[in-house]
Structure 1
Amino acid sequence: MTTRILCVGDGAVGVDLMSELKPLESLCAEVTIIQDTDSTTLPEYMDRLALVERDGLGAVSPCRGLLDHCGQAHVIVVDGTPVNREVIDNSPNLKLVAVLRGGVENADLDALKERGIPLVHAPQRSADAVADYTVGMMIAENKNIARSHHFIIEGRWRKNYINQDYVHNMRTRTVGIIGFGQIGSRVAKRLSGFDSRIIAYDPFMDAEAIRSAGAEAVSLEELLEQSDFVTLHLRTSQATHHIIDADALAQMKPTAYLINTARSPLVDEEALAEALREHRIGGAAIDVFDAEPLPADHPYLSLDNVTLTPHIAGTCADTWHASVEIGLEELSRYLRGEPFQNRRI
Structure 2
Amino acid sequence: MTTRILCVADGGITPAMMSALKELESYDAEVTIVEDSQMTSMAEITDRMGVIERAGIDAAPTCPELLANCAEADVIVVHVASVNREVIDAAPNLKLVCVLRGGYENADVEYLKSKGIRLTNAPWRSANAVADFTVGMMIAENKNIARSHHFLKEGKWVKRYPNQPFIRDMRKCTVGLVGFGFIGSRVAKRLSGFECRVVVFDPYVDAKEIEAHGVDVADSLESLLEASDFVSLHMRISSDTHHMIDAEALRRMKPTAYLVNTARADLVDEEALVDALRGHRIGGAAIDVYAEEPIGTDHPYLSLDNVTLVSHLAGTSADTMQTSVEIGYEDLEAYLKGEELINRRA
C-alpha separation in 2, matches of 1:312 and 1:214: 29
Query: Cα RMSD (Å) of the superposition?
Result: 0.7
TM superposition outliers: structure 1 runs of 4+ over 2 Å: none
Aligned equivalent of 1:196: 196
Aligned equivalent of 1:90: 90
Percent identical residues: 63
Aligned equivalent of 2:118: 118
Structure 1, unaligned runs of 5 or more: none
**TM-score, normalized by length of structure 1?**
0.99
Aligned equivalent of 2:310: 309
- The one-letter code matched in structure 2 to 1:266 is L
C-alpha separation in 2, matches of 1:295 and 1:271: 18
Aligned equivalent of 1:266: 267
C-alpha separation in 2, matches of 1:9 and 1:247: 44
Aligned equivalent of 2:15: 15
Deviation at 1:315, TM superposition (A): 1.3
Structure 2, unaligned runs of 5 or more: none
C-alpha separation in 1, matches of 2:198 and 2:57: 38
Higher mean Cα deviation, 290-299 or 43-52?
A: 43-52
- The one-letter code matched in structure 1 to 2:300 is P
Aligned equivalent of 2:207: 207
- The one-letter code matched in structure 2 to 1:267 is V
Does 2:72 correspond to 1:72?
yes
Is 1:11–1:43's contact at 8 Å kept on the other side of the alignment? no
C-alpha separation in 2, matches of 1:53 and 1:206: 27
Is 1:85–1:108's contact at 8 Å kept on the other side of the alignment? yes
- Counterparts in 2 of 1:132-211, with a 5 A limit? 132-211=132-211
- The one-letter code matched in structure 1 to 2:112 is L
Aligned equivalent of 2:325: 324
Aligned equivalent of 2:288: 287
C-alpha separation in 1, matches of 2:53 and 2:244: 18
Query: Aligned pair count?
Result: 345
C-alpha separation in 1, matches of 2:5 and 2:27: 12
C-alpha separation in 1, matches of 2:342 and 2:169: 39
- The one-letter code matched in structure 2 to 1:307 is T
Higher mean Cα deviation, 51-60 or 14-23?
A: 51-60
C-alpha separation in 1, matches of 2:230 and 2:322: 31
- The one-letter code matched in structure 1 to 2:73 is A
- Which secondary structure does the structure 2 equivalent of 1:30 belong to? strand
Deviation at 1:323, TM superposition (A): 0.0
Higher mean Cα deviation, 52-61 or 6-15?
A: 52-61
Which digits, 9 at most, give the CA deviation of each residue in 1:31-79, with x for residues without a partner? 0000000011111211112211222222221111110100000000001
- The one-letter code matched in structure 1 to 2:81 is T
- The one-letter code matched in structure 2 to 1:129 is A
- The one-letter code matched in structure 2 to 1:330 is D
**TM-score, normalized by length of structure 2?**
0.99
C-alpha separation in 2, matches of 1:235 and 1:221: 19
